[in-house]
């Protein structure tokens, strides 16, 4: 899809990958609906991004997600692209996963994007075109100790995305999944940890071999993935070899 002049919803637009993507898209002439809970942050960001529209919504709340989609449609008149970037991590060994915390993560990282997808699909079908991009994680492709709560929800999101892609081809709606590598955002700070101190950190000398990406780098990958209609958008080509 040529993104110029299109209407794009970006969830998680107050920080990190969502913010970088919204900023890049606005520079390319896109009308962006900026979605997150921190409305003051979004209002300030919106002042810098021409034609953007800040909307406060908690992506764990079905009624707020539906309201957010309605507000975007009412404001811009259409919705061409949905980018589900809002999310949070949760690290714990399988034995110690707190079930309530896991349910909350599942709600945010899987159910929220799913509700947003369902809400825009109806609109996109009427428009006879659309793009949906879900931000999963490279961890969805791996089996890393302590990361099963996060990798499992991101694997679920990837599975929903790729299945929806097959189902919606006939409606000219293209669904993509993004696998970021470690990216320099507030993600690590916001990750809930039920691990022993430092347990989730790599052992000395066995740390990641590659430096983390900037959110701007990933935003560029997302834009290219939308323009090329890629099913899977990998932060790096070497990640393709990690698919289980």
Ligand X SMILES: NC(=O)c1ccc[n+]([C@@H]2O[C@H](COP(=O)([O-])OP(=O)(O)OC[C@H]3O[C@@H](n4cnc5c(N)ncnc54)[C@H](OP(=O)(O)O)[C@@H]3O)[C@@H](O)[C@H]2O)c1
Residue showing tokens 């975007």: 72
Residue list 8-27, contact with ligand X (CB under 6 A): 12, 14-18
Q: Is residue 137 part of the contact set for ligand X (CB under 6 A)? A: yes
Q: Is residue 190 part of the contact set for ligand X (CB under 6 A)? A: yes
Q: Is residue 135 part of the contact set for ligand X (CB under 6 A)? A: yes
Instruction: Write down the least CB distance from residue 204 to ligand X, Å.
Output: 21
Interface characters, 141-180, with ligand X (x: CB under 6 A): ---------------------------------------x
Which residues are catalytically annotated? 150
Residue showing tokens 């809930």: 192
Task: Take residue 148 and report the two structure tokens written for it.
Answer: 């099963």
Q: Which is nearer to ligand X, 19 or 124 (CB)?
A: 19
Task: Take residue 6 and report the two structure tokens written for it.
Answer: 């299109």
Q: Which is nearer to ligand X, 13 or 124 (CB)?
A: 13
Spatial neighbors of 159 by CB under 8 A, at least 6 apart, are none
Residue list 73-102, contact with ligand X (CB under 6 A): 85-88
Task: Take residue 218 and report the two structure tokens written for it.
Answer: 């990933």
Task: Take residue 55 and report the two structure tokens written for it.
Answer: 């909307």
Q: Are 241 and 46 in contact (CB under 8 A)?
A: no
Instruction: Write down the least CB distance from residue 115 to ligand X, Å.
Output: 12
Task: Take residue 14 and report the two structure tokens written for it.
Answer: 């107050």
Task: State how far the Cα of 202 lies from the Cα of 146, in Å rounded to an integer.
Answer: 11
Task: Take residue 154 and report the two structure tokens written for it.
Answer: 């991101």
The residue within the footprint of ligand X, chosen from 32, 36, 131, 175 (CB under 6 A), is: 36
Q: Which is nearer to ligand X, 12 or 130 (CB)?
A: 12
CA distances from 240 to 164, 178, 192, 237 (A): 21, 12, 28, 6
Q: Which is nearer to ligand X, 108 or 133 (CB)?
A: 108
Positions that interact with ligand X (CB under 6 A): 12, 14-18, 36-38, 58-60, 85-88, 108, 135, 137, 180, 182-183, 185-187, 190
């Amino acid at each position: 899809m040529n993104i110029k002049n299109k209407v794009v919803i970006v969830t998680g637009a107050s920080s990190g990958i969502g913010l970088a993507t919204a900023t890049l898209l606005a520079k390319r002439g896109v009308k962006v609906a900026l979605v997150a809970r921190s409305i003051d942050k979004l209002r300030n960001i919106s002042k810098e991004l021409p034609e953007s529209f800040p909307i406060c919504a908690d992506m764990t709340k079905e009624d707020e997600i539906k309201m957010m989609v309605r507000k975007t449609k009412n404001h811009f008149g259409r919705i061409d692209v949905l980018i589900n970037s809002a999310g949070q991590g949760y690290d714990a060994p399988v034995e110690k996963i707190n079930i309530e915390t896991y349910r909350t993560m599942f709600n945010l990282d899987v159910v929220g994007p799913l509700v947003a997808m369902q809400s825009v699909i109806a609109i996109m079908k009427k428009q006879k075109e659309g793009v949906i991009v879900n931000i999963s994680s490279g961890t969805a492709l791996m089996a890393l100790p302590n990361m099963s709560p996060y990798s499992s929800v991101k694997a679920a999101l990837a599975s929903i995305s790729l299945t929806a892609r097959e189902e919606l081809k006939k409606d000219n709606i293209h669904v993509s999944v993004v696998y970021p590598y470690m990216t320099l955002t507030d993600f690590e700070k916001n990750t809930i940890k039920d691990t022993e101190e430092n347990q989730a950190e790599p052992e000395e000398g066995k740390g990641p071999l590659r430096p983390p990406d900037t959110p701007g780098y990933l935003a560029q990958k997302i834009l290219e993935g939308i323009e090329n209609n890629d099913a899977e958008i990998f932060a790096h080509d070497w990640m393709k070899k990690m698919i289980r």
